[in-house]
Chains A and B, each alone.
Chain A
Amino acid sequence: MKSKLVLIILGVASPLVALGLWWSVSETSTNSFFPPLSQIMTRFSDLWLFEHFQSDVLVSMGNLFAGFLIGGLLGIVIGFVLAMVPLLRWMCEPTIHFFRGIPPVALIPIVITLIGFGSEMRIANIALAAFFPTLIAAMDGIRGIDGSLKDVCSVYRLTPTERITRVYLPAAGPQIFSGLQVSLQVSFVVMIASEMLGSSQGIGAMTLLAQQSFMSADMWAGILLLGVIGFLVNIGFEAIKSRVLSWHLGSKRLERAA
């Protein structure tokens, strides 16, 4: 009991100590790549709180969520259709796997040549990147549904809508959510990359611009902000996931207890 407490204290203290070390060691730093943390924090609050908040942070986040939602929803719907119609699935599968092999960031130059540098380019790229992981997860999830569940559906004479909303979607839920999680992570990467490739707006663009003009404190502030956003977005998704899938997690816990 006592040792557990020590471990918890160690766990809480270590990141604080690491931050404190960074702060004190960097305080006297004259290295232009690694400015003092205090200076980074000053630039952080100057830049992001709240001068560029609306013009860049909100724009970036808006693109991220718009693209992720479009790509994720399309992925679920099309994944569903492909899982239900074998012929269509056979026809699309090789193409899907080919597209999955392409790093999503490599598609950005193509989308840029198609529709230019605007906001819709960034949303399209994010949606494209978010689409494939969810599509494949949804397809596999629905195809992997236990056959006895389908039998039960027939026995109870469920209508197609009931089957889809009450049985198939929940049964494939855990897999769809792990697909969505991958999609979200890829979306975040593509959000940054699409801003770094020739746009003047957004957190990624500002951070790269700071690097190119050797304003290292500004660059560090951008990196910190992106890191915190990456972390928070993931936490938020985990919270939604555990809420939506609470029935699944609960039943798994029961299974383990039994």
Chain B
Amino acid sequence: MTASSSVINNRIPAGVLVLPKSVSRRVQAAWGIVGALIMLGIWQVVAMAQVFGTAVPTVVATFAELLSLLGTSAFWSEVGITVLISLAGLTFSAVLGILLGILIGTSPVIRALSLAIFEFLKPIPPIVILPLAVMVLGPTWPMAFVLVAFGCSLAIVMQTASGVQDTDPVALSTARSYGMKALEIKTRIVLPSASPYIGTAMRVAAPTALVITVVAGLLGGAPGLGKSIYQAQAAGNTDTLFALVTVLGLLGLVFHAVSTWTEAKALHWHPSHREVSL
């Protein structure tokens, strides 16, 4: 059984009970394609049999619509705006989050002052303050930006703070006895040691930023793909609706992949990311 291959590997020479990895991975991918084709087939049959009336477009219609969307500049500008808002909000959250996190992590007083407020705000999703943001800022991109910043920065603050607190005290004392200035200690000791925490927080925050941007468009009318989805649904344009949601799925995968890859690249020097190569 491949399920227990990792254990067997330790004691029995490879190849006795376990298929060589490369073949098995290719087989897995092949089965994955088969599975995806079956799902697409089910979708096509459900659509053609009109189980849900005309609410489900066929696979063919959806992909035809998707292809024609790909040729329009309006679609690409919407994708661009969506990505831009997400990245802007993410960058702002990162800067704010890391600065605040270092502040909270190094000062017990500030930590005590802010802990209860942050702990209360952390489980509250940005959609809760969406009505307020729409009321004050209207259906604009700053509204979406504010929601992304609210939704992403808190987690980065908390993670950075716990990373800072986790700094090796010996390294800190060493730096101090070498006569490093406070700022130098922050940038050369504290920040690198907190970076895996920050990396994790950023990896989680990146897809979240995309989701929040879409929510801001869908419910608050901010520009971008979320708004297009709302319009497609309101107009009963199911082909476009399904095509746009497919695009969002792909975009989500891209955000996930890029953030995972960036984290691994940026932190390749850190022990927690080195283990794999051993």
A interface, CB within 8 angstroms of B: 3, 7-8, 10-12, 14-15, 18, 33, 84, 86-87, 90-95, 97-110, 112-115, 143, 146-148, 150-151, 185, 188-189, 192-193, 196-197, 207-208, 210-211, 214, 216, 219-220, 222-223, 226-227, 230-231, 233-234
Q: Is the CB of A8 within 8 A of B112?
A: yes
Q: List 29 A-B contacts (CB under 8 A).
A: A7-B108, A15-B117, A33-B135, A84-B3, A86-B3, A90-B28, A91-B31, A91-B38, A93-B28, A94-B36, A95-B39, A98-B250, A100-B256, A102-B252, A103-B210, A105-B127, A106-B214, A109-B230, A110-B233, A110-B245, A143-B3, A146-B7, A148-B7, A151-B4, A151-B7, A193-B218, A208-B131, A223-B128, A234-B123
Give the residue name and chain of the A residue nearest to B231 (CB): A109
For the complex formed, measure the closest distance between the CB of A224 and the CB atoms of chain B, giving whole angstroms.
Answer: 9
A residues less than 8 Å from B113 (CB atoms)? 10-11, 14
Is B251's beta carbon under 8 Å from chain A?
A: yes
Give the residue name and chain of the A residue nearest to B117 (CB): A15
Is B49's beta carbon under 8 Å from chain A?
A: no
Q: Is the CB of B33 within 8 A of A94?
A: yes
Q: Is the CB of B128 within 8 A of A105?
A: no
Q: Is the CB of B125 within 8 A of A90?
A: no
Is B87's beta carbon under 8 Å from chain A?
A: no
Q: How many interface residues does B have (CB within 8 Å)? A: 67
> Whole-angstrom distance between the alpha carbons of A219 and B171 in the complex?
50
**Which of B4, B33, B241 interacts with A150 by CB under 8 Å?**
B4
Q: Is the CB of B125 within 8 A of A230?
A: yes
Chain B CB within 10 Å, residue with most, of A103, A107, A115, A220: A103
B residues less than 8 Å from A223 (CB atoms)? 128-129, 131-132
A residues less than 8 Å from B7 (CB atoms)? 146-148, 150-151
Q: Is the CB of A14 within 8 A of B218?
A: no
Q: Say whether, besides A193-B219, A207-B131, A11 and B112 are in contact (CB < 8 Å).
A: yes
Q: Say whether, besides A189-B127, A227-B124, A216 and B135 are in contact (CB < 8 Å).
A: yes
B interface, CB within 8 angstroms of A: 2-4, 6-8, 27-28, 31-36, 38-39, 52, 55-56, 108-109, 111-117, 120, 123-125, 127-132, 134-136, 207, 210-211, 214-215, 218-219, 226, 229-230, 232-233, 236, 238, 241-242, 244-245, 248-253, 255-256
Give the residue name and chain of the B residue nearest to A211 (CB): B131
For the complex formed, measure the closest distance between the CB of B109 and the CB atoms of chain A, giving whole angstroms.
Answer: 7
Q: Is the CB of A7 within 8 A of B109?
A: yes
> Whole-angstrom distance between the alpha carbons of A186 and B244 in the complex?
21
A residues less than 8 Å from B8 (CB atoms)? 147
Interface of A is mostly: helix
**Which of B27, B134, B229 interacts with A106 by CB under 8 Å?**
B229
Q: Is the CB of A103 within 8 A of B215?
A: yes
Chain A CB within 10 Å, residue with most, of B8, B112, B233: B112
Q: Is the CB of A188 within 8 A of B125?
A: yes
Give the residue name and chain of the B residue nearest to A14 (CB): B113
> Whole-angstrom distance between the alpha carbons of A11 and B118 in the complex?
11
A residues less than 8 Å from B38 (CB atoms)? 91
For the complex formed, measure the closest distance between the CB of A233 and the CB atoms of chain B, giving whole angstroms.
Answer: 8
For the complex formed, measure the closest distance between the CB of B123 and the CB atoms of chain A, giving whole angstroms.
Answer: 4
Give the residue name and chain of the B residue nearest to A146 (CB): B7
Q: Is the CB of A185 within 8 A of B109?
A: no
For the A-B complex with A91-B32, A103-B214 known, give 20 more contacts whose Cβ atoms are closer than 8 Å: A8-B112, A11-B113, A14-B116, A14-B117, A98-B253, A99-B249, A101-B252, A103-B211, A105-B214, A113-B241, A114-B56, A147-B4, A150-B4, A189-B215, A192-B125, A193-B218, A196-B127, A222-B131, A223-B132, A233-B123
For the complex formed, measure the closest distance between the CB of A18 and the CB atoms of chain B, giving whole angstroms.
Answer: 6
Q: Is the CB of B232 within 8 A of A219?
A: no
B residues less than 8 Å from A3 (CB atoms)? 108
Q: Is the CB of A110 within 8 A of B242?
A: yes
Q: Is the CB of A109 within 8 A of B124?
A: no
Q: Is the CB of A106 within 8 A of B4?
A: no
Nearest first, the 4 closest Cβ-Cβ pairs linking A and B are A147-B7, A91-B35, A101-B252, A109-B233
> Whole-angstrom distance between the alpha carbons of A213 and B219 in the complex?
16
Q: Is the CB of B128 within 8 A of A227?
A: yes
A residues less than 8 Å from B253 (CB atoms)? 97-98, 101
B residues less than 8 Å from A227 (CB atoms)? 120, 124, 128
> Whole-angstrom distance between the alpha carbons of A105 and B6 in the complex?
38
Q: Is the CB of B124 within 8 A of A230?
A: yes
